Amino acid sequence: CALPIYLIFIVLGREIKFTLTLAGITGAIVAIGITADSFVVYFERLRDELREGKRLRTAADHGWVRARRTILAADFVSLLAAVVLYYLSVGSVRGFAFTLGLTTVIDVAVAILFTRPLVAILAGNRWMNRGSSMTGVSPARLGLAVARHAPSADGAS
């Protein structure tokens, strides 16, 4: 998440002379936390689906549908707050609002273009499907008694 934000800051710095003040850095830090929260929301929804007995690939798909609404709602509220704050404030608070709004838009892009496809790829991975304790989806971590096996080659759940 931090790399796309950093790259956009560099481009904006060169193109529109965007500079980071202390308020802008604060906005970026808050938004990076929001992006991390988006990942946590998705991963927890995925884990909820696994607890309901679904296979990892199916859980990733259904978890995304459920998490997407939450992520987009949270990002909409952050973006709305940033826009209102930007238009009602002056000085460095505007820098905070601009940076918060910019990084919130980046969060949406990262969730849709990076996090979702990466989890979909990992959901098809045999190591993830075996439920190793290092994956976060192990039966023990989910509170399940019996380990699930990887889906069959035909993709049946």
Closest CA to 75 of 108, 98, 36, 109: 108
The pTM of this model reads: 0.75
- Confidence band, pLDDT 50/70/90 cuts, at residue 24: confident
Whether residue 59 has pLDDT greater than 70: yes
Q: Which residue has the higher pLDDT, 157 or 145?
A: 145
Tens digits of residue pLDDT in 70-102: 999 999 999 999 999 999 988 888 888 888 898
Average pLDDT for the chain: 82
Residue 156 is predicted with a pLDDT of: 52
Q: Enter the DSSP assignment of 134.
A: T
Euclidean distance between CA atoms 140 and 155, whole angstroms: 24
- Confidence band, pLDDT 50/70/90 cuts, at residue 154: low
- Confidence band, pLDDT 50/70/90 cuts, at residue 147: very low
Closest CA to 137 of 62, 70, 45: 45
Residue 4 is predicted with a pLDDT of: 72
- Confidence band, pLDDT 50/70/90 cuts, at residue 146: low
Euclidean distance between CA atoms 62 and 116, whole angstroms: 11
Residue 80 is predicted with a pLDDT of: 95
